[in-house]
Structure 1
Amino acid sequence: MQETTAASLEEVFEKRATENDSYPSQLITNVNTETVDTFVRFNCKRYAEFGVNLGSTTLEIARHLNGDGEIYLFDYQYNVDYVASLLKSNGFKNVHPFGSSAKLLDSYNWPLSHLLERKADDIFDYCFIDGAHTWNVDALTFFLVDRLLAVGGLIDFDDYDWCLGKSPTLAPHLFPKTAEFYTSEQIDDQQVKRVVDLLVKTSPRYETILENKIYRKLAHDGDLLSASKQPSIWERLFGG
């Protein structure tokens, strides 16, 4: 099987540098072993990853599935293209790439809306969110993924304690545009924690599998209402 080549990586970094000035071209990449282990333990088959970077975790998931199931990739188009090519070059064809542009206000939430337009209910049973790490993107991602995640499926948030101010790539002293895009409060805030604590932990429809990281969906929105008298996510946020 063909392995990753330096030339292909150079092309990815070149595209990051020339097409996207909103984020640094060099990003941290490694395998998230807790994600892979949990995916295997729960016998999941339909994997969605948001923020694939260079595909380290994705490739391990693909090796476990060994051609079975489905893999959905969400990230900038150049990252998605690279990881899809990597998986296919290793013999895995069960790949569905969903790329977004490098426009400042574009994100993987837009292709998620297309899946909702197709009424693609319950197409995921494992969602790994390791992309923006910011409230303005990933709070909406949670709501959209919730619509597409099967009951019994898992949602996994990477970097619970992460913040822009201490990022090895996005801290303002390393990447000055961060200070242009975000307030001081937002730079210092742990925004993944904000999403998990305010939206996931407060929902009666999710139970903890791994504290501050992985949660299992117990029911669709509204399905628990008659039995538990608990308000839906939307009622908790906006009243009613």
Structure 2
Amino acid sequence: MQDWYPKKLVVGVQGTTGTYEFMKTVFGREQPFRYAEFGIYMADTARNVCQLFPECELHLFDFNDAVQRAETKLSAYPNKISYFGNTQKFNDSYNWSLMKLIRQYEGAPIYDYCFLDGAHTVAVDALNYFLCDKLLKVGGYMDFDDYEWRLRGSSLDPTKIPAIGDQYTDEQIDAFQVKMIVDDLVRTDHRYQEVVRNKVFQKVA
């Protein structure tokens, strides 16, 4: 199924300020590092990262239409930006692009910061976490958006987007799936240390 995803989401025009404000505390303005963002939507978080860190290299992942918007919006910035788009087919996602990157870099860690702000579901983002972990350097950061978000009551509520009812059970629609990933996968991994409550974790081993 194509083009089921809503065109408009409830997202602030400055993106996720908590992400780039935290990044200012751990990266210097002229410091080179590599940042990956999953679920860029209008690319406003990425735009702020570009402005704040001119030496940062960005890898941006989302549906093809969001990637095309970002290429236009971010064209003025001299940063090295790589774009990874995927279709809206139910079993396609940015995880396919990550698998190809793992093969390309032969499993070597390449990221200093991963911002997971995509599907917000266990089906997609549990695997996203494990693939990002594979590519995240020791000392790098894993950042999760919307800890208390769920499908029910969101822009993806099945009453608004009927395709959601085809993809998920009622239990899954009502579950706080980002919270599940953070609590049951990240917090239980001794290699990660929480640095911003319910949001940012540093890979320490």
Please indicate, yes or no, whether the TM-score normalized by the shorter chain is above 0.5. Answer: yes
Corresponding residue of 2:3: 21
TM normalised by structure 1 equals 0.79
Match of 1:52 among 40, 64, 69: 40
Q: How does 1:34-73 map to 2 (within 5 A)?
A: 34-43=18-27, 45-66=33-54, 68-73=55-60
Deviating 4+ runs (over 6 angstroms):
none
CA distances 1:189-238 after superposition (whole Å, capped 9, x unpaired): 0000011111100000000011111000011xxxxxxxxxxxxxxxxxxx
Structure 1 unaligned segments of length 5 or more: list them: 1-18, 220-240
Match of 2:142 among 132, 155, 165: 155
TM normalised by structure 2 equals 0.92
Seq. identity, %:
41
Match of 1:201 among 187, 195, 202: 187
Corresponding residue of 1:191: 177
CA distances 1:83-107 after superposition (whole Å, capped 9, x unpaired): 123112x233410111111211100
Q: Supply the distance in 2 between the matched residues of 1:120 and 1:47 (Cα, whole angstroms).
A: 17
| TM-aligned CA distance change 1:120 to 1:70, over 3 Å | farther
Structure 2 unaligned segments of length 5 or more: list them: none
Q: Supply the distance in 2 between the matched residues of 1:143 and 1:177 (Cα, whole angstroms).
A: 26
Match of 1:32 among 16, 21, 42: 16
Quote the RMSD (CA, aligned, Å).
1.4
Letter in 1 for 2:5: Y
Letter in 2 for 1:177: A
The count of residues paired between Structure 1 and Structure 2 equals 198
Kindly indicate whether structure 1 or structure 2 has the higher relative contact order, using CA contacts under 8 Å at least 6 residues apart.
2
Q: Supply the distance in 2 between the matched residues of 1:20 and 1:85 (Cα, whole angstroms).
A: 23
CA distances 1:12-31 after superposition (whole Å, capped 9, x unpaired): xxxxxxx9433212123322
Q: Supply the distance in 2 between the matched residues of 1:91 and 1:142 (Cα, whole angstroms).
A: 28
Alignment check: 8 A CA contact 2:38 2:116 kept: yes
SS of aligned partner of 1:97: strand
- 1:176: Cα distance to partner? 2.0
SS of aligned partner of 2:113: strand
Matched, 1:127 2:114: yes
Letter in 1 for 2:96: W
Q: Supply the distance in 2 between the matched residues of 1:27 and 1:33 (Cα, whole angstroms).
A: 17
Alignment check: 8 A CA contact 2:110 2:136 kept: yes
Letter in 1 for 2:49: I
Match of 1:94 among 63, 68, 80: 80
Alignment check: 8 A CA contact 2:61 2:94 kept: yes
Considering only CA atoms, is the larger Rg found in Structure 1 or Structure 2?
1
